[in-house]
Chain A
Amino acid sequence: MTLAELNLALPEIFVLSAACVVMLADLFISDERRGLTHLLAVLTLVFASILTLRVMLPPGEVLHAFSGTFVRDRFGDVLKVFSYLTLAAVFVYAKHYLRRFGLFKGEFYTLSLFALLGIMVMISSASMITVYLGLELLALSTYALVALDRDSRFGSEAAMKYFILGSLASGLLLYGMSLIYGATGSLELAVISQSLAAGVGDSMLLTFGLVFVVTGIAFKLGAVPFHMWVPDVYHGAPLAITLFIASVPKLAGLALAIRLLDNGLIGLHQDWQGMLVVLAALSLVLGNLLAIAQDNIKRMLAYSTIAHMGFMLLGILAGTPEGYAAAMFYAIAYAIMSAGAFAVVILVSSGDREADRLDDYKGLARRNPWHAFLMLMILFSLAGIPVFLGFFAKWQVIAASLQAGFVGLSVLAVLSAVVGAYYYLRIVKLMYFDAPEDSAPIPAPVDFRAMLSINGLAVLALGVFSGGLISLCVSAFA
């Protein structure tokens, strides 16, 4: 372990130390001054961004460290920066919610930062052990976050479900990894890749292991048929936590898939492509169809996540740099849109309960015209209507899957997008076409409003000027 190696992992080291500092400092911060913890956490993200951007690697350069367990490349750097940005937005949105519902505690920030560390480790993993470490750190922090409101029955139930199913998935993934280790004799992804290329390993054993690995990934992404936990956890968790789960970890899910399937198991592309096709097709169809039937917006957005993960899989399954770039764009776009959508849900939760019923959105355009307009853009973006961000994400993954020769799957994907448009339009309808039950404008703190405006306008601006973000994603796989 040299200093240069430590330098590569500087962002991770910093986030780890900062998370500990936040945890300790929070003990000495009184309830009235809890804003300080918030500030510390946001500052952590700012500095982490600076540390990562300071040595942003040029396209194509890959640096390994710690005996081949850690990797630093452009893909990871870009993804980490977007993780910080999204988490910063989540912090700003969550503060408003946590204050209102009496959950404004230091634990939220500590656990979120540890979850972020897990995400960063996953993103930078070059070995199956590192993947697993990062994944578990993220998962354990998230389980605890879901139970943040310990007096809520729904929260505890959701946390328990999430914990049991998540542990099962981790177990499956670990089992798959052990089989692949058995077949190739290495945990290092690069070595596994070389072994596969050289034809080392029993193909039966490898395929068997691959099935478990893909299952684990599908579980973490929430792809059908491993999606059962998604609606329940989204629904049961406090809104601020749902906001977190629905945004930042999606970037980790992408990294998980690309590190394992591409960096390690690209030699088995033929095999995992077929599995991803089935997962994608099922997620697209079921996610969108089930979302229509929901009258709870958290559940609806949960099913919509499932469908969106199906779209992201379209990019991954191509197994080409273009496909990965498209999937990466999709994950980033989805994190931005999803954070914005849940922020509006937090905004509307002005009463003594979360505004999770669709009817709560009636007449929002008359109460808060600007926020309704932002939500309108986010919803049309989620539906994949140009000129918003979501369209350019969908367009690229469809191009990737067409390029891989899956015309039928692409047609299925766009048709499911049409089905999906219906339930997004339904919220637009409630906001714009229905009269409000209570016409008073909904108040929100200024930082919340500013962040929501930036978030909503980003959905428009990153769509109109999508060339830059697309180039960035393409350069990550150059």
Chain B
Amino acid sequence: MTEWPLLSLLVWLPIAGAVALVALGERQPALVRPLALMSTLLALVLSLVLWAGFDAGTAAMQFEERVVWIAAFDVHYHLGIDGLSLPLILLTALIGVLVVIGGWTISDRPHLYLAAFLVLQGLMTGMFAALDALLFYVFFEAMLVPMFLIIGIWGGPNRIYATIKFFLFTFFGSVFMLIALIWMYLQGSSFAILDLHQLPLALPAQIWIFLAFLIAFAVKVPMWPVHTWLPDAHVEAPTGGSVVLAAIMLKIGGYGLVRLALPIVPDAAAALDWLVIGLSLVAIAYIGFVALAQSDMKKLIAYSSISHMGFVTLGLFLAFAILRNTGEVTGAGLGISGAMVQMISHGFISGAMFLAVGVLYDRVHSREIADYGGVANTMPWFAVFAVLFFMANSGLPGTSGFVGEFMVILAAFHANPWFAFVAGTTLLLGAAYSLWLVKRVFYGEVANSAVAGLKDLTRREWIMMVSLALMVLAVGVWPWPLIHMMEASIQNLVEHIVTSKLPG
């Protein structure tokens, strides 16, 4: 069998779909939604083919494609995946389908709305697969454009402030990374990420580069204190925008740290792990309290996302503390695995929660918790799913939310029991804000006439809820396929970061 350029197809197929949508849109409005759905379904199938052909036994890059792009600077269009990027590509493909289904009812220029999402999906996939630093940066930045438009055109009342803030925050962070990447190119004459992994760098240079990466990715994750764009963006974005933002775009920060920051500047990461661990713990505990105080459902989920993403950064950088304290390579791997599982799990759960809020918002046009009450009486099936997702968010065993958090907390014990103690507060806080929201929105008496008139899930919404519920439960009950997929790559990463890159 001749090799199909599967990764390129995954990147460019949705973008081609978007072009077709824009071209057709005005003339054939009936074709718009089926065409968008077809593109994303095809991408999902392709991503499953990718999974089927993926060899989990090796940490080497697979499905590589490499073409010269800019000869003068030795830049290549170089794609390839390993165990760290595959799960995120699968997640992107799945969420892509759900977003199209979720956006079925958009009435204002639906062809542009769906086209923007398709472009976004292609760019995100490209970023997860990029093995050339400049290509990575191009995808990383280019995805700001569709997201900027999605929030700005189809968002809520305060959308303009939110979307400009989102754009400028991310842009601000990433320009430092650009400087760092170019600087490293001038040292090593290569933009290939795998070459950069091997580039020897002195500690002061590593520290600067690490800080540049940290600013870029911390904004994206987002870490406290550069998280303030996220609640605004989430609240104002249309449902689909919130879902993509929470489920995938936040993972880009974590992925960037794993793909670039840790392996390129391991010594600086080890020297500054206290900084990231400290910020992560603040995010986990403090932002948890902030979430508790929210009266807007989307805002609550946004803060919960920040708190949960704190686990990702914590897990990644615990590895250094564990290696320093105990020298246990398995313990270090546990933290990173936990972080990765947490990313995937949070992708499902946060996406599901935003879709659930979207279901309510479509009917009542309010995100205020106070406007609801007793929804379980009128929408029993919806309540089943929503309660499951919010339970999963609070880390209920048997759901995916438990696995990642448990692994990270376990790793935290290896590093320092106090870290584990602070991180453990999330079990309490997460349960508190999630369940309190469930209580106020779903249980009790039917609060008002709007709630009394609610209709239960439509078939379209059933599909979204069921597929995400299955994923949440599957990863929760049987996380092995996911962990197995990443094992070799994480092992390789840990071995790489224990080796100093200091010259001489």
A: residues with CB less than 8 A from B are 325, 380, 385-387, 391-392, 395, 398-399, 402-403, 407, 410-411, 414-415, 417-418, 421-422, 425, 428-429, 432-433, 466-467, 470-471, 474
Contact = CB atoms under 8 A, between A and B. Distances in A.
B179 A414 contact: yes
A410 B182 CA distance: 11
Contacts of A467: 68-72, 75
B182 A471 contact: no
B311 to A, nearest CB: 30
A381 B68 CA distance: 23
Contact of B152 (A395, A410, A433): A433
A466 B70 CA distance: 7
B167 A421 contact: yes
Interface in B154-191: 159-160, 163-164, 167-168, 171-172, 175-176, 178-179, 182-183, 185-186
A182 B182 CA distance: 42
Interface of B: 68-73, 75, 134, 137-139, 141-142, 144-145, 148-149, 152-153, 159-160, 163-164, 167-168, 171-172, 175-176, 178-179, 182-183, 185-186
A473 to B, nearest CB: 8
18 contacts: A325-B72, A385-B142, A385-B144, A386-B138, A386-B141, A391-B141, A392-B70, A418-B171, A422-B168, A425-B167, A429-B152, A433-B159, A433-B163, A466-B70, A467-B70, A470-B70, A470-B72, A471-B71
A471 B168 contact: no
A191 to B, nearest CB: 32
B151 to A, nearest CB: 9
Given A386-B137, A386-B138, A470-B73, A411 B179 contact: yes
A334 B167 CA distance: 23
Given A386-B142, A387-B138, A399-B186, A429 B178 contact: no
Contact of B164 (A325, A387, A425): A425
Which label, helix, strand, loop or mixed, suits the secondary structure of the A interface? helix
Given A387-B142, A432-B153, A433-B152, A398 B179 contact: yes
A425 B169 CA distance: 13
B179 A429 contact: no
Given A421-B167, A470-B72, A433 B153 contact: yes
Nearest to B138: A386
B168 A418 contact: yes
Contacts of B68: 467
Contact of B168 (A387, A421, A428, A470): A421
Contacts of B149: 432
A422 B164 contact: yes
A432 B159 CA distance: 12
B176 A398 contact: no
A392 B178 CA distance: 12
Contacts of B141: 385-386, 391
B138 to A, nearest CB: 4
Given A414-B176, A467-B71, A429 B182 contact: no
Given A411-B179, A470-B72, A391 B164 contact: no
Contacts of B159: 433
Contact of B72 (A411, A432, A471): A471
Contacts of B160: 429, 433
A470 B68 CA distance: 13
A403 B73 CA distance: 13
A125 B68 CA distance: 36
Contact of B145 (A325, A380, A418): A380
Nearest to A322: B72
A325 B159 CA distance: 41
Contacts of B186: 399, 402-403
B167 A402 contact: no
B172 A418 contact: yes
Contacts of A399: 73, 182, 185-186
Nearest to A475: B72
Closest 8 CB pairs of A and B: A414-B175, A386-B138, A467-B70, A433-B152, A474-B72, A386-B141, A399-B182, A470-B72
Contact of B178 (A398, A422, A428): A398
Contacts of B179: 398, 402, 407, 410-411, 414
A432 B112 CA distance: 12
Nearest to A325: B72
A325 B73 CA distance: 12
A410 B159 CA distance: 32
Given A415-B175, A432-B153, A470-B71, 17 more contacts: A387-B138, A391-B138, A395-B178, A398-B182, A403-B186, A414-B176, A418-B171, A418-B172, A425-B168, A428-B148, A432-B149, A433-B153, A433-B163, A467-B68, A467-B69, A471-B71, A474-B72
A391 B174 CA distance: 13
Contacts of B139: 386
B127 to A, nearest CB: 11
A402 B182 contact: yes
A49 B149 CA distance: 40
Of B149, B163, B175, chain A has the most CB atoms within 10 Å of the CB of B175
Contact of A407 (B142, B163, B178, B183): B183
A255 B313 CA distance: 50
Given A387-B138, A407-B183, A417 B69 contact: no
A414 B144 contact: no
A421 B168 CA distance: 8
Contacts of A466: 70
Contacts of B164: 422, 425, 429
Nearest to A414: B175
A402 B181 CA distance: 11
Contacts of A425: 148, 164, 167-168
Of A385, A402, A415, A471, chain B has the most CB atoms within 10 Å of the CB of A385
Nearest to B137: A386
Nearest to A386: B138
Contacts of B175: 414-415, 417-418
Nearest to A396: B73
Contacts of B73: 399, 470
A47 to B, nearest CB: 31
A421 B163 CA distance: 13
Nearest to A422: B168
Contacts of A432: 149, 152-153
A402 B205 CA distance: 14
A367 to B, nearest CB: 13
A302 to B, nearest CB: 23
B179 to A, nearest CB: 6
A421 B148 CA distance: 12
Nearest to B167: A425
Nearest to A473: B72
B236 to A, nearest CB: 11
B320 to A, nearest CB: 27
Contacts of B168: 418, 421-422, 425
Of A395, A432, A466, chain B has the most CB atoms within 10 Å of the CB of A395
